[in-house]
Amino acid sequence: MDWLRDHLWEAWLGAAILLGVAELFSLDLILAMLAVGALAGMGTAFVTDSVGIQVLVASVVSVAMLAVVRPSLARRFHGGPELTLGNARVVGLEAVVTEPISAVRPGRVKLDGEIWTASADMDLRIGERVEVLEIRGATAVVRPRALPEPPASDGPEELGNTDDKEIP
């Protein structure tokens, strides 16, 4: 027991290291916050020999880290953009028909640099741009890409007048 009393800072450092290693397995950021508290206890051991004060400082720092720092770190590390993996990543992408598609017979499209079997509810010609609606097995279900609507205008162009003169 005398050795522990004489080497309290090493005991706090050992506790911090053990908590840090255990955090590597849990990844909950709880043990990391406790390890920071243990480091605060180690710093206090350099200043005072009172074990009670060291435990109090380590406890206060640990609770403060759990209440203040952990929530923001957990949001940053555990919350990120949703990653779409597999075939779901191509849904909504544009493809180009490379082999004609009919309502009865599937064709092929070039999608994301790869050739896919594709089906549609209508006939589609080679070179037509299509949008992927879903993936069924290894077949892309596609539809023609919607063209943007031309802007409406109230000018003379609608009346068929191409001159710069106004019609009275």
The per-residue pLDDT string of the chain (168 residues; one tens digit each, 9 = 90 and over) reads: 676 677 899 999 999 999 999 999 998 899 999 999 999 999 999 999 899 999 999 999 999 999 999 999 888 887 767 666 777 788 989 999 999 999 889 999 998 888 999 999 999 999 999 999 999 988 999 999 875 555 565 555 545 555 555 555
- For the chain, the domains span 2-78, 86-144
How big is the CA angle at 48 (ends 47 and 50), to the nearest 5 degrees? 155
Of 67, 3, 10, the residue nearest 38 (C-alpha): 10
Distance, CA of 94 to chain centre: 22
Region 86-144: CATH code: 2.40.50.140
Q: pLDDT (tens digit, 9 = 90+) per residue, 70-90?
A: 999 888 887 767 666 777 788
- CA 27/CA 167 separation, integer angstroms: 76
Q: DSSP code of 106?
A: -
| Residue type, position 90, single letter | V
Distance CA 30, CA 25 (A): 11
Q: What is the pLDDT of residues 117-132, one digit of tens each?
A: 999 999 999 999 999 9
Beta bridge partners of 119: 141
